[in-house]
Amino acid sequence: MKMKTLLVIGLFFSCLTIFSNEIVFPIKTTTIYIPTHKNIFLGKNWKIEFQNSEIKIESAIVNLTQPKDGISHEIVIFRYTNLTQKNISLSFNRSSYYGNVCYGCDGKESQFKLDLKPGQALEYKEGERNKTFYLFSKDFTGTIKKELSKFEITNIVVQ
């Protein structure tokens, strides 16, 4: 009997995953939201954007969904890893292209700086507001029309 119940429950969740982009479980007065698409909660596929003997800069594309706020975005998140056994300061510029329009190409608001301890990795965390760690890519609701076509990280300096 237990095996049959587990099979029915498994089938139920499989159907929810197939027919829905998200699963919402009410529990008393709170709701646990579990997105079924790849996002920051379910893991990341990091891509190395830059690496030398001192620093590694990686990016990942994730979906950020906040149904209560009506937000459903794709964002690019970043991780910065100190590969040395000493404290370092990392500075760089980042230009973002939305179609043919470049943001940051004029140098304004495109300079970033981080201090990293030996072996430390800093990356985007849920709710992060520091643009060093994320970049808007696109809006799945259609409210924001611009979409990221590419970004460039330049003038990388490690001290």
**Structural domain boundaries in the chain:** 1-36, 38-158
Residues 32-78 pLDDT 10s: 233 333 334 445 799 999 999 999 999 999 998 888 888 888 999 99
Structure token digits, residue 5: 């119940």
What dihedral do alpha carbons 14, 17, 18, 20 form, nearest 10°? 140
The whole model's pTM is what? 0.71
- Give the residue from 76, 80, 106, 110 showing the smallest Cα distance to 93: 110
Q: Could you tell me what percent of the chain has a pLDDT over 90?
A: 52
Question: Is the alpha carbon torsion for 130, 35, 43, 94 positive or negative?
Answer: negative
Residues of the chain with confidence (pLDDT) below 50: 1-42
Structure token digits, residue 82: 């100190």
